[in-house]
Amino acid sequence: MIAQLRGRVVRKDGTVAVIDCGGVGYGVSMPIPSLSHLSTDGSEVTVFVHTHVSQDAIRLYGFATLGEQRTFESLVGASGVGPRLALAILSVVSPAELAVIVARGDLGALRRIPGVGPKKAERLLVELRDRLPAPTGDAHGAPVRADLYEDLASALVNLGFGVPTAQRTARELLERAPDQPDHA
């Protein structure tokens, strides 16, 4: 089983990155947010991998963080959710947002994801309730707004911070000032 790849991104096509590791190019399907964080400038990248074996193929699914990989694995463990749908879900919502959606029982948010209908949304809420970590919150237990967290983390990555540093910094900033009003 391949669990992690470290190498250079040769190219990105759609939702697939080709990562050269010692002269071997591995095709790795990734959620769009993770794929957008990969640089093709020749710098070394590390991708966490889920190896999916089916009757006709061995496919690699890659993630920027272990949390994203674990969420993917929780999703494919739910009945009726295959790797493609799990990737589609993680391309629309982050693991933190999904945890908030499941904790709140927000059927409408799940139904807005392409490929998730009413029955599948209900099933996902039931099956993921015990599989996903509780949403992160501030010191008082109030949930941190997942969309603001993702926007802030993404902005920090775009400014040149590494993904783990950006995520940690975004979480710390929102925990320090959770009551700040949103400004559009």
How far is the C-alpha of 33 from the C-alpha of 98, rounded, in Å? Answer: 14
Give residue 183's pLDDT: 47
Residue 137 binned pLDDT confidence (cut-offs 50, 70, 90) = low
* 50: β partners: 61
Give residue 1's pLDDT: 87
Give residue 152's pLDDT: 77
Segment 2-12 shows an average pLDDT of 94
How far is the C-alpha of 70 from the C-alpha of 98, rounded, in Å? Answer: 12
Residue 140 binned pLDDT confidence (cut-offs 50, 70, 90) = very low
Segment 172-176 shows an average pLDDT of 69
Sequence-ordered list of residues with C-beta below 8 angstroms from that of 2, at least 6 positions apart, any chain:
26, 49, 51, 60
More confident residue, 25 or 164: 25
Residue 82 binned pLDDT confidence (cut-offs 50, 70, 90) = very high
Residue 176 binned pLDDT confidence (cut-offs 50, 70, 90) = low
Q: How far apart are the first and last CA of the chain?
A: 45
Residue 184 binned pLDDT confidence (cut-offs 50, 70, 90) = very low
pLDDT at 153 over 90: no
Q: What is the mean pLDDT of the chain?
A: 84
Read off the pLDDT of residues 26-69 as tens digits, 9 standing for 90 and up.
999 999 999 988 888 888 999 999 999 989 999 999 999 998 99
Closest CA to 97 of 154, 19, 40: 154
* Phi/psi-derived region of residue 42, left when phi > 0, alpha when psi is between -120 and 50, beta in every other case: left
pLDDT at 145 over 80: no
| 8-state DSSP, 157 | H
Residue 139 binned pLDDT confidence (cut-offs 50, 70, 90) = very low
